[in-house]
Amino acid sequence: MSGRSFMNLNLFAFTFPEPKTFSTCSSSMNASAGAAAATAERLLGGAVTSQRPSCSSLLGLGARSANRFRLPGSILKMSGVRISCSSSVSGRKGLTYKEAGVDIDAGAELVRRIAKMTPGIGGFGGLYPLGDSYLVASTDGVGTKLKLAFETGIHDTIGIDLVAMSVNDIVTSGAKPLFFLDYFGTSHLDVDLAEKVIKGIVDGCKQSDCALLGGETAEMPDFYAKGEYDLSGFAVGIVKKDSLIDGKNIKSGDILLGFPSSGVHSNGFSLVRRVISESGLSLSDQLPGHNGPFTLGEALMSPTVIYVKQVLNIISMGGVRGIAHITGGGFIDNIPRVLPPGLGVDVFRNSWNVPAVFKWLQEAGRIDDTEMWRTFNMGIGLVAVVTPEASERILAEYDSVYRIGVVVNGDGVKYV
């Protein structure tokens, strides 16, 4: 193994929310600025919103509320307060994330067990007290999106995804990342390929104004398949204790602002790959429903948006009370992580344009609405909870941010 170490003295100050865990109603639902929004529109096509009957309005509701809704084409299953919905298209069983090999509920259960051993675990990042500040740390990878990088040969942006997954978690506290470290593991080191990957990491660090301090390159014969590699990343930031954004002051009536994604980002690719395998399309085919010159592979490989600069600017305008990074688990699992007990949210489902890539994934995979919204971000990569007054200021300055919902008394996430 060969360690890499670099020196970069351009350090910055940052902030992050206090870890907390809130229970939510579980369902099978899964879910930038300026240039990023334009890129998403260019790559993924125009507005596409599914209008077919679904059980999405049940998200976040207990079983006792289920009888208020009609579910054409769906089967409602209830066990206590757990609600799941299944439906089919053309009589065929739809694909699910769990059947593709990823069990979100199992991951949540592991977090709950770890939290018993180490209280405080469960937020978007970990806090370490340091004088009048907190150091904020996050670590992540890019999952099986790497498989598409191998198949498409697109390696120069996967490093952006790697950085984004950690720094977007850190900025949910209002923090600016200080530095980033990476791990690159492979069976046989291809220097040219590794250079492309690390170039993306450098680009991601520049986008988030953090320093790339170094990393680890591990060459392990026979451990990885030929031509393949694995990535993980680690980011650290800092925030003043009195500037921490932790959601504790969120109140009923506060507004949800949605920041557009560039597409699938870096979650749900096990299900994406399953859909591709059953669709009959290749990654070199044009994205269905899109008239541009971009292939399916190029659309899916669009790098994760790094929200750091935009979010920090919005925080400086005042009135931001909570921030959620929309990754695996979508809205249903991620927004409640920043809400105080006794509060839920109503999401205005048609308040933004759902990119064409999600429409294609749903149709090609015959995926139920609830499964889509719990697996994918559905076009919103980050959600800020702000005061009504702050929402007016922010929306007046940013036409690429959407008013997507409101905080209400209750529990969980409901789509209206």
Q: What's the whole-model pTM score?
A: 0.75
Q: Band the pLDDT of 105: cuts 50, 70, 90.
A: confident
How many CA atoms are closer than 13 Å to the CA of 357, on its beta-carbon side? 32
pLDDT digits (tens, 9 = 90+) for 380-410: 999 999 999 999 999 999 999 999 999 999 9
pLDDT digits (tens, 9 = 90+) for 217-254: 999 999 999 999 999 999 999 999 999 999 999 999 99
pLDDT digits (tens, 9 = 90+) for 75-95: 333 323 323 333 334 445 688
CA 308 to chain CA mean position, Å: 14
Q: Give the pLDDT score at 89.
A: 40
For every residue of 19-88, which 3-state class applies, written as one string?
A: CCCCCCCCCCCECCCHHHHHHHHHHHCCCCCCCCCCCHHHCCCCHHHHHHCCCCCEEEEEECCEEEEEEE
Q: Report whether pLDDT(46) > 80.
A: no
Neighbour tally for 299: CB within 10 Å = 25
Which of the residue ranges 25-29, 71-75, 267-271 has the most confident prediction, judged by mean pLDDT?
Answer: 267-271
> Which of the residue ranges 12-16, 122-126, 381-385 would you say has the lowest mean pLDDT?
12-16
Between 274 and 110, the higher pLDDT residue: 274
Q: Give the pLDDT score at 192.
A: 97
DSSP conformation class of 340: P
> Which of the residue ranges 8-12, 67-71, 165-169, 281-285 would you say has the lowest mean pLDDT?
67-71
Q: Give the pLDDT score at 164.
A: 98
Instruction: Give the C-alpha distances (Å, rounded to integers) separating 350 from 19, 96, 378.
Output: 31, 24, 11
